[in-house]
Amino acid sequence: MSKAKSPSFVLEPPLVANPHESRVLAVRFEAGRQLYNAVLGEALRRLDLMKESKAWQATRPMPSGAPRSAAQKARAAEFSLIAETMGFTDYDIQSYATRGKNACWIGDHLDAHTTQKIGTRAFKAAQRYQFRIGGRPRFKPKGKALKSLEGKSNATGLRWRDDHLEWNKLKLKALYDQKDPHGVQAFALQSPVKYCRLIRRTILGKTRWFVQLVIAGIPKGKDKNPVRVGQSSVDIGPSTIAVVSETDAFLEKFCAHVPDLQKAIRRIQRAMDRSKRGSNPDNYNKDGTIKKLLPGKRRPWVFTQGYLRLRTRLQEHHRVLAAYRRTEHGHLANRVMAMGHTVMAEKLSYLAFQRRFGKSVRDRAPGEFMGHLRHKAASAGGEVIEFPTRTTKLSQSCQCGAVVKKPLSKRWHTCSCGVYAQRDLYSAYLGLHVRKNGESWMLDTESAREGWCAGEPLLEKTVSGIVQAAKGGPWPASFGIRARDRAALSQNGAGAQEDSGCCSPIAQAIVARAGKTSAAGTRTPRL
Ligand SMILES: [Zn+2]
């Protein structure tokens, strides 16, 4: 348990493996897959039995009470007691994995620690299902190998020694970054390794091996990525990210450089489906649905070479997307850190987000980005403070205290008190003024009003920067600088602008520009 709490970071050099070594590794991964399936099956069986048990049924109606109350604790204790007696604990599942490994051929290929980790993995998957965080975990089908195997410590099993990975008589040399311009690698290699994770990736249809060294401590920061000690605030919309600090602000399309591969992916998926139907006509009914199977029967599927080629291409697309996303997340997180290492952000349910906005959100993975940001902030000595939207309602609030619900299509915040700002930037600005009031988080409107004399020109400057940058090109639609806002500008904004005499030149420029173009700013993928 202490492992998870102490800080760590990862260095991932590629490994050199000759065809023989690669084959040995593939066999071990296959052993890992089979063991995982067996253990997962047992974990799910125990979970089902546990839920059906009388003790469980008797405990369920117990009053759950508030979090951390005595009633809730008593109920939780009762549940964990039942889990213990039914053998549904991490420890029990691990020992089941070990027994399974020793009883068959898998014992020749996996070591004790790797086996225990596979047990933990299966147990956690079943537990996620139990707590309804995830769906019922699936078995890993044949031909779909595990992506990684990991050890528990650097003492036995998978272990890192000086410059190579050792694992049951295999010694694999790592490929270092020869340049290492920022000294990040050199620093990492001097720090103690907690444990190793062996990664298998398919790149352009070829299997490549990597080792992830999980290293104790905090990674060395690069000089090109400075960290500002102070506060910043982030607002992530379905397609935008707005970041504001006391002295700086930016607003841009969230992960703008992640290519839009959805069309290409869809095309491959359709081709795969056609191919599958063509080579397995007996598996389909006349109306195109898949035939129901008799219980206990297996369906024979024929996958042609063409189908397998398509599948490789599809995997490659997903890999490329993930790689772009990772890079982009890293860049964005560095920029946020340069603005302030204590980051305020609304606590969003990214799952609900995804349900509402679908694939575009999935490709950009805002939840993953927040995880990235948390890690970076912690390394820099700061933190990410997430506050609930329920009490703060930043997207609806104004610094005068008014709370007005606005539809997502309305991209500008206008208020009778005279405040006029781009919606995402403004709610990020308000995030800087959220304070903890006893148990709940509240927007400190007074502080927001005081800060506005500096905040207003800052947000204006940011928007005018976008206007300048976008001249001659298409407007980024999600920023809300488009024809639809024209009406809102002239109706609500005009009066307020005359009073304060502030954002009128920019607003006019925006209106003039919005009248000319309405196209959305989407990038065409290049691959
Ligand atoms: Zn107001």
| DSSP symbols for 29-71 | HHHHHHHHHHHHHHHHHHHHHHHHSHHHHHHTTS---STTSHH
The Cα-based distances of 420 to 269, 346, 364 in angstroms read 46, 21, 29
**Which amino acid does the sequence have at 334?**
N
pLDDT tens figures, 348-397: 877 777 777 777 777 888 888 999 999 899 888 899 999 988 888 888 88
Q: Residue 508: which pLDDT band, with cuts at 50, 70 and 90?
A: very low
The alpha carbon of 238 and the centre of ligand 1 are apart by a number of angstroms equal to: 25
More confident residue, 20 or 225: 20
What's the mean pLDDT when you consider all of the chain?
A: 84
Quote the pLDDT of residue 505. Answer: 42
In this prediction, residues 268-279 reach a mean pLDDT of: 96
The alpha carbon of 417 and the centre of ligand 1 are apart by a number of angstroms equal to: 4
The alpha carbon of 240 and the centre of ligand 1 are apart by a number of angstroms equal to: 23
Quote the pLDDT of residue 195. Answer: 94
Residue 263: count of CB within 10 angstroms of its CB: 9
What totals of helices (H) and strands (E) does the chain contain, helices first? 18, 17
User: For residue 505, what are the contacts with CB-CB under 8 A and spacing of at least 6?
Assistant: none
The alpha carbon of 478 and the centre of ligand 1 are apart by a number of angstroms equal to: 23
- H-type helices in 131-212, by residue range? 184-190
Six token digits for residue 131: 């707590």
The alpha carbon of 452 and the centre of ligand 1 are apart by a number of angstroms equal to: 12
CA proximity to 189, closest of 197, 201, 199, 177: 177
* Highest-pLDDT range among 243-247, 271-275, 401-405: 271-275
The yes-or-no verdict on residue 510 having pLDDT over 70 is no
Of the listed ranges 262-271, 301-310, 387-396, the least confidently predicted one is 387-396
In this prediction, residues 224-249 reach a mean pLDDT of: 89
pLDDT tens figures, 89-130: 999 999 999 999 999 999 999 999 999 999 999 999 999 999
CA distance 132 to 90: 18
Beta strands at 231-236 and 206-216: parallel, antiparallel or unpaired: unpaired
The alpha carbon of 120 and the centre of ligand 1 are apart by a number of angstroms equal to: 52
The alpha carbon of 133 and the centre of ligand 1 are apart by a number of angstroms equal to: 39
For the chain, give percent helix, strand, coil, nearest 5: 50, 20, 35
Within a 13 Å sphere around the CA of 470, how many CA atoms are in the beta-carbon half?
27
More confident residue, 460 or 272: 272
pLDDT tens figures, 319-328: 999 999 999 9
The yes-or-no verdict on residue 436 having pLDDT over 90 is no
The yes-or-no verdict on residue 517 having pLDDT over 70 is no
pLDDT tens figures, 127-160: 999 998 888 999 998 878 889 999 999 998 899 9
Q: CB of 251 within 8 A of CB of 422?
A: yes
CA distance 505 to 422: 15
Q: Residue 489: which pLDDT band, with cuts at 50, 70 and 90?
A: very low
The alpha carbon of 340 and the centre of ligand 1 are apart by a number of angstroms equal to: 27
The alpha carbon of 415 and the centre of ligand 1 are apart by a number of angstroms equal to: 5
The alpha carbon of 397 and the centre of ligand 1 are apart by a number of angstroms equal to: 8
End-to-end Cα distance, the chain? 43
Q: Residue 477: which pLDDT band, with cuts at 50, 70 and 90?
A: low
In this prediction, residues 429-454 reach a mean pLDDT of: 89
In this prediction, residues 228-242 reach a mean pLDDT of: 89
Length, in residues, of the chain: 527
In this prediction, residues 232-248 reach a mean pLDDT of: 90
Quote the pLDDT of residue 428. Answer: 92
The yes-or-no verdict on residue 469 having pLDDT over 80 is no
The alpha carbon of 461 and the centre of ligand 1 are apart by a number of angstroms equal to: 21
Quote the pLDDT of residue 363. Answer: 81
CA distance 104 to 386: 48
pTM of the complete model:
0.74
Residue 205 Ramachandran class (φ > 0 left, ψ -120 to 50 alpha, else beta): left
Burial class (CB in 10 A: 0-12, 13-18, 19+), 407: exposed
Three-state secondary-structure class, residue 150:
strand
Residue 438: count of CB within 10 angstroms of its CB: 6
Q: CB of 151 within 8 A of CB of 117?
A: yes
In this prediction, residues 464-480 reach a mean pLDDT of: 65
